[in-house]
Chains A and B, each alone.
Chain A
Amino acid sequence: MKVTIKEWNAVAAWRWDMPDDDVCGICRNPYDSTCSKCKYPGDECPLLLGECNHSFHMHCIFSWLKQESAQEKCPMCRQPFKSKDAVADDTEVQGDESGTALDTPA
């Protein structure tokens, strides 16, 4: 028997390289899902890993850090929140002014 493939569709699944079943501490949505404001997960709504190893949806942690009362601290451990460089490089911060503020020491 000879089979001729006329057409095929490749399907791929993705997930962030994070522990299973973990949710963003701010919005409580899974990391693989979006923050409360976005529709599409993935590059549109990336994660940001802190030097303290706590991660959040980028939009969630930015909403928090914009607050004066946050004092630029991680919501989990209250250490100054700085993004880990490796992640920051992958994360393109588009048109968000708070992006640069993360790298400056508090």
Chain B
Amino acid sequence: MFATKRLQKELIKLNEKLPPGITLVKADDLKEWLMDIQVMDDNPIYKDETYRLKFTFSGNYPIEAPEVVFTPVQTPSRPIPLHPHIYSNGIICLDMLAREGWSPVHNVESVCVSLQSMLTSNTKRERPEGDDKFVKYNTRRPKDINFVFHDNGV
């Protein structure tokens, strides 16, 4: 199918060369991959921290967007980055990862780079509005949540 070949190709490239601050942690199968990202500049909010991303692919990837969430790890320390568009359960509100914003020319690397830049450009040490409630009551998969992309500032 679509996903298998495309993911195999991406994996070969990821094993060869990755942009600074992006590491492939685990890609044992072609369904779920773990990536680590770091912010490369001196933004004090994210300095010296590393964050873990979990990619989940459907059989129809890249026609369908992958599900991408931050996932916390105790050791080594991988917290959920503090950002007004990232919920404390790791769910990310980013148009590129939603139905309307995804394009099949994106890939794992470009998603990681976009998230790096989303963090780099942020200056607010805060969670999205209603984070507590969302984290407590949300049972939907990220792709089924109808985020409203109103904030072009970050």
Contact B100 A69 (CB under 8 A): yes
Known contacts A28-B9, A69-B100; A36/B105 CB under 8 A: no
B5 in contact (CB, < 8 A): yes
Contact A78 B2 (CB under 8 A): no
| CA gap between A25 and B107 in the complex, in Å | 10
Per-position binary interface string of chain B over residues 1-34, scored 1 when its CB falls under 8 Å from any chain A CB and 0 otherwise: 1101110011000000000000000000000000
Per-position binary interface string of chain A over residues 16-37, scored 1 when its CB falls under 8 Å from any chain B CB and 0 otherwise: 0000000001111100000011
Per-position binary interface string of chain B over residues 77-103, scored 1 when its CB falls under 8 Å from any chain A CB and 0 otherwise: 000000000000000000000011011
CB-contacts of A1-45 with B (<8 A): 25-29, 36-37
Contact A67 B6 (CB under 8 A): no
Contact B102 A69 (CB under 8 A): yes
Contact A78 B103 (CB under 8 A): yes
A76 in contact (CB, < 8 A): yes
Contact A36 B103 (CB under 8 A): no
CB-contacts of B44-71 with A (<8 A): 62-64
Known contacts A64-B104, A76-B105, A78-B103; A28/B1 CB under 8 A: no
The 9 closest A-B pairs by CB, nearest first: A25-B105, A69-B99, A75-B103, A26-B104, A36-B5, A75-B105, A36-B2, A28-B9, A75-B104
Q: What residues make up the interface of B, taking CB atoms closer than 8 Å to A?
A: 1-2, 4-6, 9-10, 62-64, 99-100, 102-105, 107
